[in-house]
Every structure is written in structure tokens, then in C-alpha cells.
Chain A
Amino acid sequence: MKHSSFLFIFIFVFGALFAINAQETASVNGYITDSRTGETLIMANIALLEINRGTSSNTSGYYTITNIEPGTYTLAASYIGYRRHETEITLEPGQNLRLNIELLPEGAQLDAIVVTSDADREEMRDIGRAQVTTQLIKELPSVIEPDVFRSVQLLPGVKAASDFSSGLYVRGGSPDQTLILLDETTVYNPSHFFGFFSTFNPDAVKDVRLYKGGYPAEYGGRIGSVLSVFNKDGNRMENRGTVSLGLLASRASVEGPLNRGSWMLAVRRSTLEPVLSVLRRSIDGVPDRFYFYDINGKLNFDATENDRLSLAFYAGNDLVSIPFQEDANIRLRYGNQTVSGQWRRIFSDRLFGFFTFTGSRYFNRPEFEIAGTPFERDNDIHDFSFKGDLEFLPNEHHTISAGIWGGNITLRYRDWFDNQQTFNSRIRSQYLSAYVQNRWQPTDRWIFTGGVRFNSFSEGNYTRFDPRLSAEYRPTEALRFQAAYGRYHQYLSLITNEAFSGFDIWLTSDEGVPPAYGDQFVLGAKTIPFSGYGFDIELYYRTMRDLFELDPFVTDPAGLDYHELFRFGEGYAYGVELFLEKQTGSLTGFVGYTYGITRRKFPGFNAPILDDPTNARFYPPKYDRTHDVNVVTSYRLNNRWSANAVFNYATGQAYTRPLGRTQFSNVPWDNASRNVFVVGNVNASRLPSYHRLDLSLSRQGSFFDMGDAEWQLQLINVYSRRNVWFYNYDFDENPVKREDVNLLPIIPSISYTVNF
């Protein structure tokens, strides 16, 4: 079965090579950009209306349409948030027309106060894919800072663990099952401020794309999903900047043209020091130091008409130092650095390539010292890689993609207790992936995409093959049916504390620790039921096998072999997502609903108490929320004022209700009684439902005629719903007293942004 399916894919992919059309046809290609800034637009739609041939721009903003019969055509280009563009072109036999397209943003005219569209919007996504615009990210009410991940958490199928966590739980998967890419580079801990929000600066971000499931062969390494973030290239037309001052953090960005290129720099830093200084005078335990910062930068250079070079970097750091008691303090420093250099080349009208060198570093250094006894941990990841991707269009029916991604990853995990090194693990592994994929469009109505991805990981000597298949049927212009299947492997596992991401540790496969893997099945339909509306529905089912994660009962790793640190289990998830979007008019927004189930099972965990402990049962992890509804609305009152609202309702998270209790009073080496709960099914109870309403009000103006300015007033948790995060138990009371640990109360916030 396995060999025949690969043979089918091989023929499907390479059969296209023999169908190259040899006639004297023409082609048109180029870059599609924002007319005001020169930023390339990813996945914009470009079509020749008379022959109903179209394509999308790739992640470099490049498009190409080949095998066109000579003649005169209307070329139409569209992209969400931009006015539709049409132009007439005439193609001679054998001509390769280079046509760069510039789109005008909607609302760019002074008297435009509503979002309009000249034609039905065609921004319908591929299966499992969702997009969040940076405009939405900045407009939505947010705690402390506008945040990419918190905006993504509003999409159906994506859940948050708590108000304090920006971690992405996509279709029942844990955060480590989502590959996070910034300009093609892996980011290992994309969080600041104890996981409160992500490392992605909205001022620097151009495109945020989430593949929730069934993602294509060009991506790999995670069994769940992919979040791909691209930073801006920089304004190619003029120098521009933004400064934004907030209560607890501020940011600034500048960008501008170079001779044949552009540049961009964005910085962000917390501004908590004055607040902490005041608090320290009267409250104990206030941090001595507590800050975070991040810097994003990019340089672009057009070496030739067909060659573009770019260099991008990111650096971010969090530091907190708290003397939490006499003779006891904690210090934590963690952060990420990434760098990527890319070369994009148009080889011909049929062949486009991009080649990227990436480097990524994540470090994490928690230190405690209690009563003269230090505890230290050191976790480092260094990941250097090379990626090469090619897109080849042999004819109008096929698009063949192929690529490789190879690199070297080094993970180091060291523990010191009382100045003695107690654990030292260093894993250096080479990894190599290669994929080939063919997108075949035999008719206007059908699209088939098939591919295979090969993975290898040298630690443990693992090689795996992942087939990917998807199909799309378009019975009408306003309706698409989609189906996808894929197998996915993952060689990394994240050890994280939901309450606090500062201690995150990544561990890898090795001998005795095989990679996790899973299969995904997705069915969906995407429609435009009425003009200006979009409605999507997707059903998914996922398996998770050979999951490996740190055994929670391993409290001391010293002296253990590497594989003894882990527990190995399995899981599954399935659900239905509905997404209704209103895209035009004064009132825009979306409603997303998810019905989702996810379960896990690990031997020795959640076994019936008197049974053989290997008889483990499936249980829902805490973040399993059966129903999840998000309503996001934006209303433009006039050309100065706009309002945004976000309402979220979700089933209460799973928790374990203790059934019984007892006490062990005679443990020989101490005189304290050890209180113990007896439980039945783990996580079989539900916290109260979660719901929260956030509002924001924005006023546009100007800053001393030097630039545009915006005041934003926000109210988080308008009716101060005290959502429960978890229960704590106080054994000093008898009977034991259960106490709520609540999430965020009502929080007002204000920020001021100047664009110059």
C-alpha cells in the first residue's frame, strides 16, 4: 500500500514534465506590490479575464502565467484590502512580458470612509489556511500590546490556554506542534513577558499566514500546523516611520528606500521601570529588573531585474530578576535571535527559485538561589540551515514545486544544583528534508495537489516519508470544495509550563526516542454566499502517534539515560470549524465557531487506580474546549473614529476534580504530613465557561502637521468576568478549601501612535 501510493504520487508529479507545450505561446510575469510602499503582496490574485486563466503571487510577491495564446487580454489583479486593478495587455508569439503591478490600497482616497470593492472578493483560501492582516492586529483591543498570536487565537480552530498565554493550540495540538517561521527561519520561543504575547512586532510584520492543518509538502517538521510570518521589506517610495507609546511598552519603526532596494528597522521595549520603581518602595517581591526588548530589521536589494537579495534579522530578550524573599532570588533571561539571507531569482518565465540561509538561536537561563543553594539551568538551541525552493510551470495545467531544507541543530540542556553539574545533554543533529509537489489544474473546476516530503534526522538515524494530497472542486465561482490528507513527522518536543513560558525547553528525538507522527484528514467548503461575505466550513480529523514528552514524574533528571526522561503516548483530535466573514461596508468582521475534541493517552497516567498502571485511558488535556466562539467586529463611525469589539465564548477547560483525600504522616525523613488527593478520570470535569468582551475606540488625527496620529482607548474584559484559570487547594483548611485562581479582570489601556 505504501509503495503503490508513492508510485502514484511519483507519476502524478513527474508526468507533468512530459506535457510541456512546445507551441509559440507567450507569458506574463512580474512582481505585485503596494503602490504606496512598494511592499510585495503575497498570494494576490492575478487573472486573464477573457480566457479565465489565473494564478496567485508566491511568498516573494512574484506571479507568472505561461502558455498564453498571443492576443489582447484584460489582466485583473486583486488582493484583500486593495482596489482591484485592471489593465489591457497585448502578447505577441513567444513574448515574455515582464509586468510589475502596483495595487492601490482601499480607503487611500481622503473621502473614503468605508471598505469597498469593485468586484466580488476572490480571497478564498486554500484548505486549512487562514490569514490575519496586520491592520486587524493593530486595531483589535489588546492587553498591553497589539499582538500577532492573540489575533491568530481568534480564528476558528485556534485556542488559547489562558489570558496570560499567547501559545497557539491549533486543532487540538500543543504549541510545539505548530512550526513558527519568521522570514523562513524557525523561531523556537516566540514569546515575551512570561508568554503574555508574542515576539512579532506588528509594525514590522507584513503577512501572517496560518496553515491550520493538511499543509502542503513544502513545509514539514511539525505534526500539526505552520504559522508563517513575513516581515516588511521596507518602503521603496519614501522614508516613513511610526512611534507608538503605550502604558507598559512602546515601539518605533522606520523604513525607506535604498538605491534599488529598501530597508526597515523596528524596535520595541517595555517601559515598566518607572512603575516598578514606585512599587518597590512599598511592596516586597517587586522585580529588581524586568524588561524585554526586540529588534527587527531587513535590507532588500535588487541586484538585477531577475535577482533580488534580502537580509533579515531579529533579536529579542527578556530579563527578570526578583528577590522574592530574604536570601532567595530568581533570575531569568531568555530570548531568540534569527538571521536569514535570501536570494530570489527569476530564471525564466517558467522557473522561479529562492534560496535562503537561516540561523536561529534560542536560549533560556533560569537561576534560583535559595538559602545559599543555587539551582541553574541552561538550555540553548542553535539551528543553521539552507533552503532551496524552485517553482516550475511546464504548462498552464501544472505547477511543480521542489525544494530541500538541510541544516544542523544543536540542543544543549544542562542543570546545576548547588554548583555541581547534575545533568548535561548535548545533541547535535543534522537534518535534511526534500520535497516535490505538483499542482495540477486539468480544468477550470478541478485542482489536484500531490506531493511527498522526505525527512531525515541523524540523531537516532531516522528517515521518514510524508505523502501529501489535496483536491479542490469549484462548481461555481463562489463555491469551492476541498479535501486534503497528509502525514507529518516531528523530531522536536517542547517542555513548557502553561503558566510561564520563560522555562521552555526543547528536546529532540534520539536513539530510543523515535519521532512523533500523525495523519490529518480535512474536508472543507468555502463560499461567497452573498456579495461582500465569505463563509467557510472545515471538518478535520488528526491522529498523533509516538508523542514524546518529558515525564512529569521525573523530578530529577540526574543520572538518567536520555530516553528515560520521556513518556511516550498517543492522541487524536477532530472537529468542525465555521467561519462567517463580512468584508465590506462600515461594519466588518467575522464570527468563528469551533467544535473540537482532543485526547491524549500515556501509559502510567490516568489508569484506573487499582488497575495495572499500563492500562492508561484517553483523557482531554486542559486546553480541550468543546465549543469556542469568537465574534470580531470593526465599525468605522466616520473618517476619524472607529470602534472594535471582540467577544469570546468557550467551554470551560478540563480539570481534575479530586474525589477523595488522605494523608501520609510518617514519611521517615520529615515530620510534615503529606496531603494527597485520590482522583478518578483525569480532567473529567469542566471549569465554568469562559467569556470575555473587549472594546477599543480609535481616533485618527495629526501630530503637529508632521504626520498622522492615532489615540486608541481600550477596555479589556468590559464586564470584568472573573474567568477561572484553575483551582488551588488549601489544606490548611478542613475540609480542604478550593480557591479560584482567576484570569484577567477589567483592564483599561491607552496608546498613542504617530506615523510620519
Chain B
Amino acid sequence: MNPNISIYKFLIILLVLAGMITVISCETYNQEEYEELVIVEAYAIANDRLPDVRIHTTTPAEDFFDPSETAITGANVQVVLLDESDQSEKVFDYFFSPAGNGIYIAGNRSHRMQANRTYRLDIDFNDRPEVIRAYTTIPDQLTVLNEIADSVVYQSEEQLEIVIPQPQNNAQQQVYVFSIISDEPFAENLTPFYLANFEDENIELDDVLVNSSGLINEGNFDINPDGTITLRFPWIGVAFYGENRIITGLVDRNLSDLVRSQEVQLGGSTLSPGEIPNLIYNIEGGIGIFGSMSTDTVSTRILRP
């Protein structure tokens, strides 16, 4: 056989084989269609009263977003305090708030959320099939142990330090967050970094009235010989000179999962640009957050350098 004809025959066979492989192996991985989901939003604070529960729905991504249009009425909401064997110890019924906006409030206004106790949120609907359940364990009560300086100089060597006891539940490392609320939120009081952003119209004053450090793992801080933890408030959180209240928070796993996954969703991590995951919700039957935290507040005056 003419060698060139042999080659052509082999080439044709190979090309047909390759074409068959490409056709047969066509994988279908299609985009799903939008489905409306129920969203629950509730934040419990240790020693605070039962949290409000907001229930609403998602909106298609390309539609106009109006939170007031997504509120759900007609939900049956309960928060249950569980005992050590996860049995119901006390049930708190909720009612739709006259203020609307999908908010349900507890009938019991005297109960205080107990640190280190687990609560369960149960929701079902008169006119929807969803059944939603979520759990949160309130973190240990946070108490600032040290005497806070009346004033600190911005970006000085003496950083604002907060000493707290190590939490009882230290099986996993804890996650903290600092918030700072200015009592003198005027433009002329802005610190340089925030002033530059304000002048560039990247931010408005309202955006930094309450400024947060973001979630910070316990591992970032020193454990003292006496078992306490020293937290240093980072200067990046200070938006205003003058009188400020600093709130130290200890968050539960649900809040930590939600917030860190939300911060990653649209970039800034190792995900490729355009690769968007869902958040970590820890909710059964829906999405959202039933989280908790404990807090303590101190005050100081931030002085200009």
C-alpha cells in the first residue's frame, strides 16, 4: 500500500475518533434558574433581650432591590432555650411587628439571653412550604478587666489595650471583633486615612460612624500568664478623633462563618475573579443568620498626634 495513503487513512481514523470523543464527552453543566429563597436574620446578644427576627425573601439579581417588598408576613416564629440534653427548656413565641418590614418580635420582653446556652429558632409558614430551623450557642460573657486610659494619642506607641478573661469554651479558638463608635462624628475630626477617603468622596460620614476592625482570631493576641488575653485595638479602626466608645465583641461560629464568607464572596481571597460562592449559612431550610455574640464597652478619647 502506498505509504502516503496509509498515513491519510490513519489520520482520518484518528480525526474521526477525536471528533467522536469531543461529541460524546460533551458535559452538560448548566446554569440554574433563579428560585426564591427565604432569608432569616437574627442576632442574639448576651444579657440582652430576645432578638428581633427578620424574615424576607431573595430578589432576582437583575431586578430592582427593595427590602420592603421582600418582607414575609404570616410566619410562625419561636425561639427555644435548650437544656444540656438539647431538649426544650423554654419556648418564646414571636409576633409580627407592627413596624412591618418582615420583623417579628418576642412576646417575652424580660428574658435575657444567657451566655453559654443554646437557643433554637423554629419558623414555618401558613402559606409557604418552607420549614426553617437554626441553632446558636451564646458565647461566654465578655468583661473588660483592665482600667482603660482616659485618652490615647493616635498612632502613638501606647496602643489601646483591652484585657479580657479567656472564654470558658476554649475547645476552638474564639473570634473577636472591635467596633468603635464616635461621639463626635464631624468631618474635621476624621483621621488622615478616612479624611482622604472622605475628600475623594469614597465614603460618607455615616459610613464610618460605627467602624469595625473585622473578625480577628484569638490567635492574633497574647495569652497572659494569668490566663487572660490582651487585645490591642488596631489604629485602622479609628475614624474620628475625640470621644469614642470601643465595643469588644466575641462572636459565635454562625456569625463568624457568615461574615468571613461574605467578605470573600466578591473577591479578595484566593478565588479567581468571577468565581462566586454562596455564603456559609448554617440554617436548615433556608438561608440567613441566627447568630450571637457577647460584648463589653469602654470609652476613651483619641487625641491628635
Q: Which chain B residues numbered 199 to 240 have a C-beta less than 8 Å away from chain A?
A: 200, 206-207, 209-212, 215-222, 232, 234-236, 238
Distance, CA A57 to CA B27, complexed state (A)? 43
Chain A CB within 8 A of B62 CB:
yes
Q: Is there a chain B Cβ closer than 8 Å to A672's Cβ?
A: yes
A377-B6 Cα distance, complex, nearest whole Å? 61
Measured between beta carbons, the chain B residues less than 8 angstroms from A370 are: 193, 236
Give chain A interface residues in 129-152, CB to chain B under 8 Å: none
Residues of B within 8 A of A666 (CB): 41, 43, 54
Contact of B15 among A325, A537, A605 (CB under 8 A): A537
**Of the residues A549, A599, A609, A674, contact of B262 by C-beta under 8 Å:** A674
A119 proximal to B (CB < 8 A): no
B18 to chain A: which residues have CB within 8 Å?
537, 539, 576, 578, 595
With A and B bound together, what is the CA distance between A621 and B260 in angstroms? 22
- On whether the beta carbons of B270 and A550 are closer than 8 Å, the reply is yes
For residues 310 through 349 of chain A, which have their beta carbon under 8 Å from a beta carbon of chain B? 325-328
Knowing A550-B270, A666-B41, the reply to whether A679 touches B277 (Cβ < 8 A) is yes
CA–CA, A495 and B206, complex, Å:
37
Say yes or no for A660: interface residue by CB 8 A criterion: yes
Judge if A26 is at the interface, Cβ distance under 8 Å. Answer: no
Q: Is the CB of A326 within 8 A of B7?
A: no
Give Cα A483 to B17, complex, Å: 15
Q: A574 vs B26: C-alpha distance in the bound complex, in angstroms?
A: 11
A90 beta carbon closer than 8 Å to chain B? no
Is B275 an interface position by the 8 A CB rule?
yes
Given A371-B192, A549-B270: A669 in contact with B286 (beta carbons within 8 A): no
User: Are A655 and B275 neighbours in the complex by a CB distance under 8 Å?
Assistant: yes
Do A553 and B30 touch (CB < 8 A)?
A: no
Which of B29, B35, B216, B270 is in CB contact (< 8 Å) with A619?
Answer: B29
B273 close to A659 (CB less than 8 A): no
Residue B116 at the chain A interface, CB threshold 8 Å:
no
Residues 127 to 151 of chain B near chain A (Cβ within 8 Å): none
B241 within 8 A of partner (CB): no
Q: Which residues of A contact B280 (CB under 8 A)?
A: 553, 604, 613
Given the contacts A610-B286, A664-B41, A677-B265, A529 and B58 also touching, CB distance less than 8 Å: no
In the complex formed, the residue of B with least CB distance to A497 is B270
Cross-interface CB contact of B65 among A476, A684, A736, A741, cutoff 8 Å: A736
Q: How far is the CA of A161 from the CA of B280 in the complex (A)?
A: 28
A171 vs B41: C-alpha distance when bound (angstroms): 44
Which residues of chain B from 14 to 31 have a CB within 8 Å of any chain A CB?
14-15, 17-18, 21-22, 25, 27, 29-31
Tell me if B6 and A676 are in contact (CB < 8 A).
no
| Secondary structure class of chain B's binding surface, majority of residues | mixed
Judge whether B113 is part of the interface by a CB distance below 8 angstroms.
no
C-alpha spacing A623/B279, complex, angstroms: 23
Contacting A at CB under 8 A, from B229-256, are 232, 234-236, 238, 247, 249, 255
Contact of B236 among A371, A537, A553, A609 (CB under 8 A): A371
- Residues of A within 8 Å of B60, CB to CB, are 659-661
Q: Which residue of B lies closest to A528 (CB)?
A: B7
A610 with B11: CB separation less than 8 A = no
With contacts A653-B274, A664-B289 taken as known, whether A677 is within 8 angstroms of B236 at the C-beta atoms is no
Question: Which of A190-198, A392-400, A415-423 contacts the other chain?
Answer: A415-423
* Binary contact readout A675-693 vs B (1 if CB under 8 angstroms, 0 otherwise): 0111111111101000000
Interface assignment of B163: CB less than 8 Å from any CB of chain A: no
Identify B22's interface contact among A525, A576, A727, CB under 8 A: A576
Query: Does any Cβ of B come within 8 Å of A555's Cβ?
Result: yes
When the two chains form the complex, which single residue of B29, B61, B264, B271 contacts A659, counting CB atoms closer than 8 Å?
B61
Is A726's CB under 8 angstroms from B274's CB? yes
Q: Are A553 and B269 in contact (CB under 8 A)?
A: yes
Interface residue A274 (Cβ < 8 Å from any Cβ of B)? no
Tell me the bound Cα distance from A497 to B267 in angstroms: 10
Asked if B275 and A682 make an inter-chain contact with CB atoms under 8 angstroms apart, the answer reads: yes
Alpha-carbon gap, A610 to B39, bound state (A): 12
Residues in A573-630 with C-beta less than 8 Å from chain B = 574, 576, 578, 595, 597, 599, 604-606, 609-610, 613, 618-623
- Known contacts A539-B18, A668-B45; is-contact A529 B11 (Cβ 8 Å): yes
Chain B: CB-nearest residue to A371: B193
Q: Is B173 an interface residue (CB 8 A)?
A: yes
The reply on A663 being an interface residue by CB < 8 A is: yes
Chain A positions 331-387 with a Cβ under 8 Å from a chain B Cβ: 370-373
Cβ–Cβ < 8 Å partners of A746 in chain B: none
User: Is A308 located at the chain interface by the 8 A CB criterion?
Assistant: no
Interchain CB contact under 8 A, B14 and A525:
yes
A471 CB within 8 Å of chain B: no
B187 on the A face (CB < 8 A): no
B25 touches A553 (CB 8 A): no
CB pair B31 A680 closer than 8 Å: yes
Sorting the interface of chain A by its residue count into under 10, 10 to 19, 20 to 34 or 35 or more gives: 35 or more
Shortest CB–CB separation between residue A744 and chain B, in angstroms?
Answer: 16
> Which stretch in A209-217, A511-519, A556-564 binds the other chain?
A556-564
B125 contacts chain A at the CB level, 8 A cutoff: no
Taking the complex as formed, is B3 at the interface, i.e. its CB lies under 8 A from any CB of chain A?
yes
Question: Taking the nearest CB of chain B, how far is it from the CB of A482, in angstroms?
Answer: 12
Chain A residues contacting B218 (CB-CB under 8 Å) are 558-559
Do A668 and B293 have beta carbons less than 8 Å apart?
yes
Nearest A-chain residue to B221, judged by Cβ: A420
Complex formed: what's the CA distance from A550 to B11 in Å? 44
Chain B residues within an 8 Å CB radius of A653: 274
What's the least CB distance linking B265 to chain A, in Å?
A: 6
Compute how far the CA of A325 lies from the CA of B58 in the bound complex, rounded to whole angstroms.
Answer: 36
How many angstroms between the C-alpha atoms of A550 and B220 in the bound complex? Answer: 19
Would you give the 0/1 interface string for A725-744, flagging 1 where the beta carbon is closer than 8 Å to chain B? 11101000011100001000
Complex: how many Å from CA A680 to CA B8? Answer: 47
Q: Are A418 and B232 within 8 A (Cβ)? A: yes
B85 within 8 A of A: no
Complex interface: chain B residues within 8 A of A476 (CB): 3, 6-7
- Is A478 positioned at the interface, with any CB of B under 8 Å from its CB? yes
List chain B residues, Cβ under 8 A from A553.
257, 260-261, 264, 269, 280
B34 to chain A, nearest CB (A): 4
Within 8 A of A (CB), among B56-90: 56, 58-65, 67, 70
Pair A621/B259 contact, Cβ less than 8 Å? no
Contact of A662 among B32, B59, B154, B247 (CB under 8 A): B59
User: A373, A479, A576, A665: which contacts B6 (Cβ < 8 A)?
Assistant: A479
A373 to B64, CA, bound (A): 38
Would you call B210 and A671 a contact (CB within 8 A)? yes
User: In the bound complex, do residue B273 and residue A741 qualify as a contact, i.e. CB atoms below 8 Å apart?
Assistant: yes
Provide the residues of chain B in CB contact with A656, threshold 8 Å.
274-277
Residues from chain A with Cβ under 8 Å of B159 in the complex: 418
- Chain A, 674-731, CB within 8 A of any chain B CB: 674, 676-685, 687, 725-727, 729
Known: A552-B270, A574-B25, A676-B279. A669 touches B235 (CB 8 A): no
> Does A539 lie within 8 Å of B21, measured CB to CB?
yes
A662 and B10 within 8 A (CB): no
Question: Of the candidates A326, A655, A677, which one forms a contact with B192 in the assembled complex, judged by CB atoms under 8 Å apart?
Answer: A326
State the 7 A-B residue pairs at the shortest beta-carbon distance, nearest first.
A559-B219, A680-B32, A326-B196, A558-B219, A371-B193, A655-B274, A373-B236
Known pairs A372-B235, A667-B259, A671-B206 / 13 extra A-B pairs, C-beta < 8 Å = A476-B3, A529-B7, A537-B15, A539-B21, A553-B260, A558-B216, A560-B217, A661-B59, A662-B56, A671-B209, A677-B61, A678-B37, A725-B273
**Complex A-B: 28 CB contacts under 8 Å:** A325-B200, A326-B195, A371-B238, A372-B193, A417-B234, A475-B10, A476-B3, A525-B14, A529-B4, A553-B261, A556-B260, A558-B217, A558-B220, A559-B218, A574-B25, A610-B37, A613-B280, A653-B274, A655-B275, A659-B35, A662-B287, A664-B288, A666-B54, A669-B249, A671-B209, A676-B279, A684-B31, A726-B273
A: residues with CB less than 8 A from B are: 161, 325-328, 370-373, 417-418, 420, 422-423, 475-479, 495-499, 525, 527, 529, 535, 537, 539, 549-550, 552-553, 555-560, 574, 576, 578, 595, 597, 599, 604-606, 609-610, 613, 618-623, 653-672, 674, 676-685, 687, 725-727, 729, 734-736, 741
